[in-house]
Every structure is written in structure tokens, then in C-alpha cells.
Homo-oligomer: A and B are copies of this chain.
């Protein structure tokens, strides 16, 4: 438990980032963990362009939105005997972190920095502070070797912090241009999720349209795992977050089995897609796992989901097991059509009517919504009526789905008890694993993957590329064999109609019910439900057995591709 001051300063004076931080032994050991690079970037390489690209959907609209970038080829780094001439010269590069944290972000920045140090001597790296707002307000700092060092292989985004602003309006684009000109930027790396990479592409298009030299490269970041495609096999942070959650799930499984009297209901971060829940299930083998995409595809109701859980609890009781573990994605209720309908109606009623104590207002609900509302536990009913966001809307995100399910399962089990079909005690314990996973120390996989993503982004900028997303592939092979390149962001885009206009979007990658990870899960879940096949992954290890494992989702998806 020795705490180490990482620099001689030892904590005096105002804190310049982590230069004066106090580190645990594990943090210190991670600082000096050396990161392997794919062999293609270790020697001289050149960039080879692929065929012209199209779009994921509506290519005509995408072409209209990105007249300068549409159709551009993706790029692949290939080894060459001699350093290519176009790679000479120093660069001025900016980097920005956008959106929620994901373990490994600091290593992307380290990768860019080291690329510039190694391959473009005399370059400067600026970090924009607090997300895209830092670009618009030209709030930045120069990132030096000394400043970056304490963040290597560390969790969090606090090196330059992040933000959720978007560069959208003509004024905001103008501000970004001014910043690029003021700093004489050759390039900008945007580290973010689907929205941020869409934004990166719009910025690239805009700079190109204005004949500015600044180029823009994106990097795939999100613990949710919903930004991926063939060329970008995974987003960084997903691996670490899932392993942190799986450690905790494994522990409560052992708890469940030891005490023999609790059902642990675990809600896991991940609103739009259920990748985290699926991966954690594959790592730990819980008795019950609800995947939002399946609920949506089968058009299940909340009652269906409740009955599904209750049925398994009753079957387990017959086998003598009055305990278990249930995984639920944070966004579950967003996947249930009837809940969406109820919430839409509630928003309408709450905006225009008085909620009378006698409950007359309920008559304004449709029959189906009225039934659903009455089915909900009282605490949830109150939450729906009382807690609203600044726009007056129901705050769906605040609903503690795991507690709601426990309450509904209790009610259903009481009913079955009175009918004589269940005779045991049910004790639910609720858990939410979210913030704990976003900022952990990155796994060896995320640390290495991020470093390669950053290094690749540097190489792409250096060779004059813009509007690409850094792409590192062949991730189940040894690091030396990883492929490195960039994929045209426009080739991943489709359009959505919003307020009568076409907006470009990078489609979120949902859990595919025909994909290898879900199919694997579906083939074993019945056994997991009734037999106890729990696995306890244990804490993330940085050395020794298990320390270089790749998560199941990535392994299964890449295996299925091969």
C-alpha cells in the first residue's frame, strides 16, 4: 500500500495535471508498462489507398452532405523498404476528447504524441480542454513529454478532460476555423463516439471546403461498444469496462451461491445497445440475462419480461435453488414499445393537464398505457409523475430498472404463492454498475489498442489524410500482426431525417441477434438458467494468466468473420 509521489515536486504548489499526483503501486507499475506496436508502424511504411468508397446508406444524400469527402478511399499502412518522402516535415496537431470517459483515452493521446516524436520531429501537440468547447473557445494546452508521462496507461480523461458540446452551427464551425488558423493546425484528432465521429467528418468536410490545411481524423471511443464495423472491430474502453463489471458480477454470483438466499439484479451501463450486458453474460454465465435488442425484436411487454424472469425463478425453486443472478441493460425500458408509448402519452398529459390526486387524469391515457401504468410499482409511478427534466419530460434515465423488476417479480411471485405454484422466499438485491467501469485502469488490451489507434491517427494526419477514422484490425492475432489504417467516415454513414432535414449519422452498432456473440449466448442460456455455471473472472490482471485475454464479443465476432 505504499503511495508513490511520481515526481520530486511531491505535491507542493498548484497541481499541473497529474505531475504532482500520488500514485498507488499498481498505477506506478502501469506508468512504465511498455506498449508493443504493430510491426507495420515499427519500420518504414507507406499508405496505400483502397478502392473508392460509398456510404452505409443513401449515398446520394451523403454525397450532397460531404461533396469534398464522399467516395474517398480507405487507407492501409504497408511496410516499405524506405521512408516515403511525403511523410517528412513536422506537424501542428490538436487532439480533443469528446463525450463520456472510456479507459484508454490517455493512451490514444500518448500514441499520437509518440508518433509525432518518432516520425515527425519538431511537431507540436495541442490538447483542447473540456471537449469540443475547447476547440470553439480556443482553450488548449501544449502537451509535453513531461506532462503526458503521468497519464500513460492510466484511466480517466482528466489529462485534458472531455465535454459533450457539438460543433454544429455555422458560427461554431467558424470558431473552429479560427482556432485552426490561430494555431496553424495541420490536423485534429477527435476521440469520441458515433456522434463525435460524425462531427469530426463534418469538420473535415468544412476545413476541406474552405481549402484549409487542417485535416481531421476520428478515433472510436465508447465503453458501450456500439461504434464498430468491419474495419473498426471494437471501440476502446469496452474491454476494460466489461471486465470491471464482470469482476463484480462474478463476486455477487459467489455471494449468491454461498448464501443461497438472494437474487442479485444487476443493471449495467449501456443505454442504446446491450453489448456490455451480453459480454458480461458471456464472461460470467448468469442465470438470467435480458438483451434489449431481443426484447425489441420480439416486441415484448414489461409483463412478458417479468414473467420470463419469474418463470425461471420458479423453475429454480423446484430444483432447490432460491438464489440467482439477473443482468439487465441500463436501457432496457427504452427497448419496450409499450413503455415508449406510455412515456410519450405522459409527457403530453404532464405538459397540458393537472395530475389530480383522484387519478382522473389517467383516463386520458390510452387503454394499453393505463394498464401498463397500473402494472408499474408505486415508486415507479411516482417517479414518472414527479421527476421531470428541464423540458418537463419524464426522466426515463432515472428509473432504476433493476429495482422496478424486483418489485414486479415480487408481485408476480406473491400471486403465484396465493395460487399455490410457488412456496419459497424471494429476496432481491439491486446493483447498478456504471461509473465504476468508465474510468478504470485500462486492460492490457485497451492500453495497447489505444496506443495503436493514436499512433495510426498520427500517421494518417502526417500523410495528408482527412475524414478517416483510425482503424486497427486483426485484433485477435499477436500485436505485431495487427493491421493499421484509416476508414472513410463517409463510407460508414447513413442519413436520418430530423426536423425535415437530412442529418448524417454513423449508425450505432446494435447487438445483432444473428451475430456470433448473441448466438453463442442463446445456445447456452437455458443451461445457465437452471444449472449454476457461474464463472468468476476475478480482478483484471496486468501480469500473468488472463492478462492478455481478448473479450468474448471481439473474439467471437472476429472468429465469425474469419
| A contact set with B: CB distance below 8 Å | 1-3, 11, 15, 21-30, 101, 154-158, 161-162, 244, 247-248, 250-255, 257-260, 262, 264, 282-283, 285, 429, 431, 435-441, 531-546, 549-552, 555
- Chain B residues with Cβ below 8 Å from A550 are 1
A251 near B542: Cβ-Cβ < 8 Å: no
Closest chain B residue to A443, Cβ basis: B539
Closest chain B residue to A23, Cβ basis: B535
Closest chain B residue to A156, Cβ basis: B254
Knowing A251-B436, A435-B252, say if A541 contacts B539 (CB, 8 Å): yes
Cα-based distance from A535 to B254 in the complex (angstroms): 28
The contact of A254 among B254, B439, B538, B542, by CB within 8 Å, is B439
- Please name 17 pairs of A and B residues whose Cβ atoms are closer than 8 Å in the assembled complex, sorted by A: A1-B550, A1-B555, A23-B536, A25-B545, A26-B537, A26-B541, A27-B537, A101-B255, A154-B254, A156-B254, A161-B259, A162-B258, A162-B259, A244-B251, A251-B437, A441-B538, A539-B540
Closest chain B residue to A554, Cβ basis: B1
Cα-based distance from A46 to B159 in the complex (angstroms): 59
Cα-based distance from A87 to B1 in the complex (angstroms): 39
Cα-based distance from A259 to B162 in the complex (angstroms): 7
Knowing A283-B1, A544-B543, say if A441 contacts B536 (CB, 8 Å): yes
- Chain B residues with Cβ below 8 Å from A248 are 248, 436
A15 near B531: Cβ-Cβ < 8 Å: yes
Cα-based distance from A431 to B433 in the complex (angstroms): 9
A22 near B101: Cβ-Cβ < 8 Å: no
Cα-based distance from A264 to B432 in the complex (angstroms): 14
- Chain B residues with Cβ below 8 Å from A429 are 435
Knowing A435-B429, A535-B27, say if A156 contacts B258 (CB, 8 Å): yes
Distance of A442 from chain B, by nearest CB (Å): 10
Knowing A439-B255, A439-B258, say if A539 contacts B29 (CB, 8 Å): no
Cα-based distance from A377 to B253 in the complex (angstroms): 34
Cα-based distance from A468 to B344 in the complex (angstroms): 67
- Chain B residues with Cβ below 8 Å from A21 are 534
A439 near B252: Cβ-Cβ < 8 Å: yes
- Chain B residues with Cβ below 8 Å from A11 are 531, 533
Distance of A16 from chain B, by nearest CB (Å): 13
The contact of A544 among B156, B255, B542, by CB within 8 Å, is B542
A24 near B533: Cβ-Cβ < 8 Å: no
Distance of A282 from chain B, by nearest CB (Å): 8
Distance of A104 from chain B, by nearest CB (Å): 13
Cα-based distance from A422 to B419 in the complex (angstroms): 57
B545 near A26: Cβ-Cβ < 8 Å: yes
B538 near A15: Cβ-Cβ < 8 Å: no
Distance of A260 from chain B, by nearest CB (Å): 6
Distance of A396 from chain B, by nearest CB (Å): 18
Closest chain B residue to A30, Cβ basis: B538
Distance of A11 from chain B, by nearest CB (Å): 7
20 new A-B contacts at CB < 8 Å, known A2-B549, A247-B539, A539-B540:
A1-B549, A1-B552, A3-B535, A15-B532, A22-B533, A24-B250, A24-B537, A25-B545, A27-B538, A101-B259, A156-B254, A156-B258, A158-B257, A247-B440, A248-B248, A252-B435, A253-B439, A262-B435, A541-B541, A543-B544
Closest chain B residue to A255, Cβ basis: B439
Knowing A25-B545, A545-B25, say if A431 contacts B441 (CB, 8 Å): no
Closest chain B residue to A283, Cβ basis: B1
- Chain B residues with Cβ below 8 Å from A264 are 435
- Chain B residues with Cβ below 8 Å from A156 are 254-255, 257-258
Cα-based distance from A248 to B434 in the complex (angstroms): 10
- Chain B residues with Cβ below 8 Å from A545 are 25-26, 28-29
Distance of A265 from chain B, by nearest CB (Å): 12
Distance of A425 from chain B, by nearest CB (Å): 12
The contact of A255 among B435, B532, B534, by CB within 8 Å, is B435
The contact of A27 among B22, B262, B435, B536, by CB within 8 Å, is B536
Knowing A29-B545, A156-B255, say if A441 contacts B539 (CB, 8 Å): yes
Distance of A5 from chain B, by nearest CB (Å): 10
B155 near A29: Cβ-Cβ < 8 Å: no
B252 near A546: Cβ-Cβ < 8 Å: no
Closest chain B residue to A26, Cβ basis: B538
